[in-house]
Every structure is written in structure tokens, then in C-alpha cells.
Structure 1
Amino acid sequence: MTELWNWRIERVRPVEVYPALAEALGRVVMPLAVADPARLPTYAVICDVWEAPGEFGTIVDCYGVPEQLSEQTCIAALARLLGRNCLLRDDTLDAGRHLLVAPDGTIRPVHFELTETDDGEVLRGQRLCTEADPGCRGWSRCHRSRWTPDSVRPAPAAA
């Protein structure tokens, strides 16, 4: 069984993302636009990278990721290699809540205002998920996450 990962990166050109992805994943990375399923190298991962409006406007989709790879380890490696903050979805059903992965390998929950446009979701107004924010206190979805408000953790190390 393989996985699909969807990440966002602070503005960076897609051409810079592909080689960093290959290094972070430890796999051959094939851009979706040129990937021929009949000619894929063994252990290749197909990725699509494009730019959208808003904060964290570089979007990355990785298809067919082997399940033995750790998503948090790989995105932490990508953040370090690019020197940029990255986002991945958290474990709540809150569409505006993400996990911010910093180049130093720390992971923390954050919120964004989310707007649907013809170009997809636009994220704006980043704020930390913290007990100081009324929307993150008490019985909020934030407390049902393993990433509770104010949590900051190191990304898992590569094996």
C-alpha cells in the first residue's frame, strides 16, 4: 500500500523543490507532468509542485509514497534542505489548522484563515495554536489533537 502526501511551503520556486524532495525522500522523484507509469524507475515517487496565492503558496503533492517512509521525518528534511517553513495537515477536522515544520526540525500547530477561490484554498493570517487564543481553549478541536495548543516537538529523526 502507498500513501499520498500534501504539503505547503513558504514561497519557493517549484524547480528548487524537486531536487530537495528527492534528497528528503531518498527516492527518485518524477514530476507528474512527465511521469510515464510504464517507465517509472523502481522506488520512484511521483510529485506535483505548483504555486498558488496566499501564504505557503507552493503546494506539493507526493503520490505513491512507500508506507515505510515517515511523513514528518521527510517534511522536516525538506524544510531543512530548503531553509523554509513547511505545512502539513494535522489530525483534526479543522481545515484551517496545520502543523508548521520549521527548518530547525520543530513542529507546532498553527491556524490560518482559509478562503476558497477558483485557484483552490488560500491560507492567510497565520497564528499559533495556543491557550492564549480563545478559539483554542476548552473543548475546541485543538484539544482533541495529539498536537495540543502550545505543543512544540522535534520531528522524528531519520532511521
Structure 2
Amino acid sequence: MTELWNWKVDDDLVRVEVYQALAESLGRPVVPLGAHDPGRLPVGAVLADVWRRPGEFALSIDCYGPPVGLAEHTAVAALSRRLGRRCLLADDTYDGTRHLLVSPDGTVRPVHLDVEETEDGEVLRNERLCSTAEPDCRGWSQCGQSRWAPDSVLPALVAA
């Protein structure tokens, strides 16, 4: 099965800019999904789909078949730095409201967002830090069992 990375970016950027930044961050050619004949893709190419969605973190990026051996946290930190924008990726709790926020300076921290399913897709709103000061992040919650403990802030290279 091909691995899939799904990220969200806190701004609506020009798609060409995103594909170029992805290629630089992944160290591979990036081809828009559906833009080429699958039998004629460049060697090592990563397929990517970039689209706009409603809410905060309005730009979605899917990377199909990312490079083996490249940690996702390292790749998204490189993308965040190149774009100068904050990015979200899934964490290890399987809690749909909890994500990892990667800043352009390379820091990674757990956050929560309200998630609403709409006809236009998933809408994320009301960003807040995952913290032991929050009742929903204490005790029995999955937050404390995560590799990304509440209130943690790590550089992306340490996180990889």
C-alpha cells in the first residue's frame, strides 16, 4: 500500500507555489494528481493533490508515495519554512480534533481544533493548544498517551 501524507496549511496559496515548495521539501519531482499519464511519471516522483477547503487551515495537501526514509515531520517542517506558513498534520491519538502544528521556525506542538463536516468537506476552527490546563486534555484523554504530550513543544528534527 502506498503511504499518504495529508497536511493542511493556514493560508490559501497559489498552487504552483505549493507544488514547487513540495518538490524542494521532499527532494523529489512532484506531479499534480491526474495531470500526467501514470506510466510516464518521472522516476521517484511524488503525486500530490492541492485544494482549498473552508475554515482555518484552508489549503489541503495530499502526498501519495512520499520518499522512503524521509520522516513526515521533517518534510512538513521544510514545507512550512519554505512557504512561511503554519502547517497541520495528524498526530498519533486518532482523535479527529487533535493535530500537530508545525511552525515555519520548525517547532512542533499538539493543538486541538473544532471539526465540522460540511458539504464542502471538513471545516477546522477554534485552534487551541493541547495543554494540561484544558480539562479535555487531562487524565483519561488520549492526549496524555501520545508521543506528543500536552504542552510539549519540540523542534521538528527532534520529532522525526
Question: What TM-score range do you get, normalising by the shorter chain?
Answer: over 0.9
Residue by residue over 1:40-83, the C-alpha shift from the partner in whole angstroms, topping out at 9 and shown as x without a partner, is 01010000000000000100000011321211110000000000
Large movers: runs of 4+ above 3 Å: none
Q: Report the Cα distance in structure 2 between the residues aligned to 1:43 and 1:63, rounded to whole angstroms.
A: 11
In structure 1, distance between residues paired with 2:68 and 2:120: 30
Please give the alpha-carbon distance, in whole angstroms, between the structure 2 residues aligned to 1:2 and 1:154: 27
Letter in 1 for 2:4: L
CA distance in 1, matches of 2:29, 2:68: 16
Contact 2:32 2:47 in 1 (8 A): yes
Corresponding residue for 1:76?
Answer: 77
The 3-state SS of whatever aligns with 2:109 is strand
Q: What residue in structure 1 maps to residue 11 of structure 2?
A: 11
Aligned twin of 1:22: 23
Unaligned runs of 5+ in 1: none
Residues 1-44 of structure 1, C-alpha deviations (whole Å, 9 max, x = no match): 64210000011322221100000000000001303211001010
CA contact (8 A) 1:3 1:66 kept: no
Q: Decide whether the 8 Å contact of 2:9 with 2:85 is kept in 1.
A: yes
Between the aligned residues of both structures, percent identity stands at 62
TM-score after normalising by structure 2: 0.94
Q: Is the 8 A contact 2:101 2:108 kept in 1?
A: yes
Which 10-residue stretch deviates more, 6-15 or 51-60? 6-15
RMSD between aligned residues: 1.1
Q: Do the aligned residues in 1 keep the contact of 2:26 with 2:67 (CA within 8 Å)? A: no
Q: Secondary structure at the match of 2:65?
A: strand
8 Å contact from structure 2 (residues 99, 112) kept in 1: yes
8 Å CA contact retained: 1:27, 1:43: yes
CA distance in 2, matches of 1:2, 1:156: 24
C-alpha distance in structure 2 between counterparts of 1:35 and 1:61, whole Å: 16
Task: Report the TM-score when normalising by structure 1.
Answer: 0.95
5+ residue gaps in structure 2?
Answer: none
Secondary structure of the corresponding residue to residue 18 of structure 1: helix
Q: Deviations over 1:75-101 (max 9, x none)?
A: 000000000000000000210100000
Aligned residues: 157
Amino acid at match of 2:27: G
Amino acid at match of 2:51: W
- Name the counterpart of 1:131: 132
Matched, 1:153 2:151: no
What is the SS of the residue equivalent to 1:34?
A: coil
User: What is the DSSP-based 3-state SS (H/G/I as helix, E as strand, rest coil) of the residue aligned with 1:65?
Assistant: coil
